[in-house]
A and B are shown apart, each in its own frame.
Chain A
Amino acid sequence: MLSYILKRIAGTLPTLFIIITIAFFMIRLAPGGPFDSEREVPPEIAENLERVYHLNDPLWQQYGYYLLNVLKGDFGPSFKYQDYSVSELIAQGFPVSIQLGLLAIILALVIGVTLGSIAALRQNKTVDYLVMTLAMTGITIPNFVMAPILVLVFAVFLGWLPAGGWGDLKHMVLPVIALSLPQIAMVARMTRASLIETMNAPYIKTAKAKGLPPRLILLRHASRATMLPIISWLGPASAAIITGSVVVEQIFGLPGIGRHFVNGALNRDYTLVMGVVIFYGVIIILMNLLVDLLYAWLDPRIRY
């Protein structure tokens, strides 16, 4: 097991390396980028850039410095916010984004698995069709349409919840719902398919033949195999939720990383955008790693 874990960790390193390398060379090619000597920047920022990137050294040395800095967690100074480093901006936004993301994943798991199981156990009944229609709707309507509509209904027309801002629990309700709806739909569909397949497996038939109560069969025998595809969903889901959070934070005006990212992209704050991309990349890679390890642990059929 340990050697498998080490192998998997080693397998993620090239991906990380490639992300950083692409980011570095892309920024070098960019017209008017931070490495462009033609560009006029305030002297304070020019000084910071010179200090961090060693602009007068040969290219490969600059690349080495950049790699080292990133490994130390230093993404350099922001281009637009003179008083902040990119790492500080990311650290500021992280608590907001991680709360949103985790809540959305938990909500998706709880509601999605419940709905999917109900649909699977009532296969081809009205409830099943209802749940699957809802799931199709959830998957089709994108975040950036759902979020404004939620605001329109619950904040503008009904006035139950605030339309934006950050503070207490009330502010989190709509963003988390907007973020998790497509994921709830995905989980419901996957749970349904997986549970139907599992319930037809020979070992479940054996359990039924032994006369075990249905509840026990479901919870003890079927649940583990049913959860396997859901576990592997966590990888792509984290990527989807990060992407979605960019939009959702923008719509609700939340002070998370996603908003920094969008503003950075619109302001051409190169270092900020690059820092956030690398940061997101690391999170997604770590999630995929976690999923692989969880999977190997849960499924005895996987050989290390």
Chain B
Amino acid sequence: MESTTFDKGYSPGQQAWRRLLQNKAALYSMVILALIVFVCLFLVSISPWQLDDVDWDNIGTAPSFIGQHYFGTDANGRDLFVRTLQGGRISLMVGLLATAVSFIIGILYGAVAGYTGGKTDALMMRFVDILYALPFMFFVILLTVYFGRSIWLIFIAIGAVEWLTMARIVRGQSLALKRRSFVEAARVTGASHFNIIKRHIIPNTLGPVIVYATLTVPQVILFESFLSFLGLGVQEPMTSWGVLIAEGASQMESAPWMLLFPAGFLVVTLFCLNFIGDGLRDALDPKDR
């Protein structure tokens, strides 16, 4: 880090952004991820096929440009290019939404526990400890077995699982923050507890929480793919990378492209998100470097 960076007077946010851009792995990951998101959102229409169109002349054919099946077709003659991109939309959406759910629950819960302190805090965090010890993956599976498979259930279930760590991080931060003089100053001026949590506690905990949230997105995508792979997640006619990988795995001897394209997209996305998360952590927390 050259000292000139500081001479010009950048805000901590700008400094963090510069550090992030200097991290080659994170920079390339952001570019590639943006590309994947763009492809999934906008390029479906360059293919003449729809999600569940069946091309009777091309059942289980290898990738080719002549039939306009860029990634080949599956065992039912459906175009894999369109399915992979549509599946990507679902996987990415699940990743973002479920992370958002856990983000909100975790921040509120953690901030209230840490700020209130004392018995309430002990009780609330003991509850988190107990939930932590539960095998959640299996409870989510139980839920899908009992209440049917819906994508909303998956969002909620995953979001409800992932908030625990978020709550712990925020609680630890708020415990330290509430002793700081600016919080005391706010209290002296008559700000309500609600306003103090909203205006002073939560904004100051965001740094580590954003890092953790970035690392949560790949976990959630993985979780959804895992459920879908087992046949317990996203249901037909919708699809996701997990579903496609499961279909591909069952056909891989005759049609390896059915496995390789969705698996490739999933793995590259996970790589990018992990690198970005690591990069963000280094950028926001320079003392680790």
A118 lies within 8 A of chain B by Cβ: no
Q: Contacts A265-B230, A280-B138 hold; do A15 and B133 have CB atoms under 8 A apart?
A: yes
- Within B140-154, the residues touching A (CB, 8 Å) are 141-147
A106 lies within 8 A of chain B by Cβ: no
Structural contact, A33 and B133, CB atoms closer than 8 A = no
Query: Which among A12, A31, A144, A270 is the interface contact of B249 at CB below 8 angstroms?
Result: A144
Chain A nearest CB: distance from B105 CB in Å? 18
B245 lies within 8 A of chain A by Cβ: yes
Cα–Cα distance between A141 and B266 once the two chains are bound (Å): 9
- Within B235-273, the residues touching A (CB, 8 Å) are 242, 245-246, 248-249, 252-253, 256, 259, 263, 266-267, 270-271
Query: Which among A19, A140, A251 is the interface contact of B267 at CB below 8 angstroms?
Result: A140
Residue of B nearest to A12 (CB): B133
Which residue of A242, A243, A280 has the most chain B CB atoms within 10 A of its CB atom? A243
Query: Which among A23, A250, A284 is the interface contact of B142 at CB below 8 angstroms?
Result: A23
Which segment, of B89-97, B189-197, B221-229, faces chain A? B221-229
Which residue of A26, A140, A147, A239 has the most chain B CB atoms within 10 A of its CB atom? A140
Query: Which among A145, A264, A285 is the interface contact of B133 at CB below 8 angstroms?
Result: A285
Complex interface bits, A25-42 against B, C-beta within 8 A gives 1, otherwise 0: 011011101000000000
Which segment, of A46-54, A87-95, A148-156, A222-230, faces chain B? A148-156
- Say whether chain B's binding surface is mostly helix, strand, loop, or mixed: helix
Residue of A nearest to B271 (CB): A140
Structural contact, A149 and B263, CB atoms closer than 8 A = yes
- Within A114-170, the residues touching B (CB, 8 Å) are 136, 139-142, 144-145, 147-149, 151-152, 156
Cα–Cα distance between A106 and B222 once the two chains are bound (Å): 25
Query: Which among B134, B145, B231, B245 is the interface contact of A281 at CB below 8 angstroms?
Result: B134
- Within A222-276, the residues touching B (CB, 8 Å) are 239, 242-243, 246-247, 250-251, 261-262, 264-266, 268, 270, 273-274, 276
A180 lies within 8 A of chain B by Cβ: no
Chain A residues with Cβ below 8 Å from B267 are: 140-142, 145
Residue of B nearest to A235 (CB): B133
Chain A nearest CB: distance from B243 CB in Å? 11
Structural contact, A273 and B134, CB atoms closer than 8 A = no
- Within B176-231, the residues touching A (CB, 8 Å) are 218, 222, 225-226, 229-231
Cα–Cα distance between A242 and B136 once the two chains are bound (Å): 12
Chain B nearest CB: distance from A128 CB in Å? 16
Structural contact, B147 and A31, CB atoms closer than 8 A = yes
Cα–Cα distance between A149 and B274 once the two chains are bound (Å): 22
B135 lies within 8 A of chain A by Cβ: yes
- Within B95-152, the residues touching A (CB, 8 Å) are 130, 133-135, 137-139, 141-147
B232 lies within 8 A of chain A by Cβ: yes
Structural contact, A144 and B231, CB atoms closer than 8 A = no
Complex interface bits, A193-232 against B, C-beta within 8 A gives 1, otherwise 0: 0000000000000000000000000000000000000000
Cα–Cα distance between A243 and B230 once the two chains are bound (Å): 11
Structural contact, B130 and A273, CB atoms closer than 8 A = no
Structural contact, B248 and A144, CB atoms closer than 8 A = no
Chain B nearest CB: distance from A170 CB in Å? 19
Structural contact, A243 and B137, CB atoms closer than 8 A = yes
Chain A nearest CB: distance from B189 CB in Å? 43
A22 lies within 8 A of chain B by Cβ: yes
Chain A residues with Cβ below 8 Å from B143 are: 26
Chain A residues with Cβ below 8 Å from B249 are: 144, 147-148, 251
Chain A nearest CB: distance from B154 CB in Å? 14
Cα–Cα distance between A246 and B267 once the two chains are bound (Å): 20
Structural contact, A15 and B142, CB atoms closer than 8 A = no
Which residue of B249, B263, B267, B271 has the most chain A CB atoms within 10 A of its CB atom? B249
A18 lies within 8 A of chain B by Cβ: yes
Structural contact, B230 and A136, CB atoms closer than 8 A = no
Structural contact, A250 and B230, CB atoms closer than 8 A = yes
Cα–Cα distance between A26 and B143 once the two chains are bound (Å): 8
Query: Which among B130, B138, B229, B242 is the interface contact of A277 at CB below 8 angstroms?
Result: B138
Structural contact, B135 and A156, CB atoms closer than 8 A = no
Give me 26 A-to-B residue pairs in the complex whose CB atoms sit less than 8 angstroms apart, sorted by A's number. Answer: A15-B133, A19-B135, A26-B139, A29-B146, A33-B146, A140-B267, A142-B267, A144-B229, A144-B245, A145-B263, A147-B249, A149-B259, A149-B263, A156-B252, A156-B253, A246-B230, A261-B138, A262-B231, A265-B141, A265-B145, A266-B231, A274-B142, A277-B138, A277-B141, A281-B134, A281-B138
Q: Which residues of B contact A (CB under 8 A)?
A: 130, 133-135, 137-139, 141-147, 218, 222, 225-226, 229-232, 242, 245-246, 248-249, 252-253, 256, 259, 263, 266-267, 270-271, 274
Q: Apart from A144-B229, A148-B259, A239-B137, list 10 A-B contacts with CB within 8 A.
A: A15-B130, A144-B225, A145-B266, A145-B267, A247-B229, A251-B249, A261-B141, A262-B230, A281-B134, A284-B135
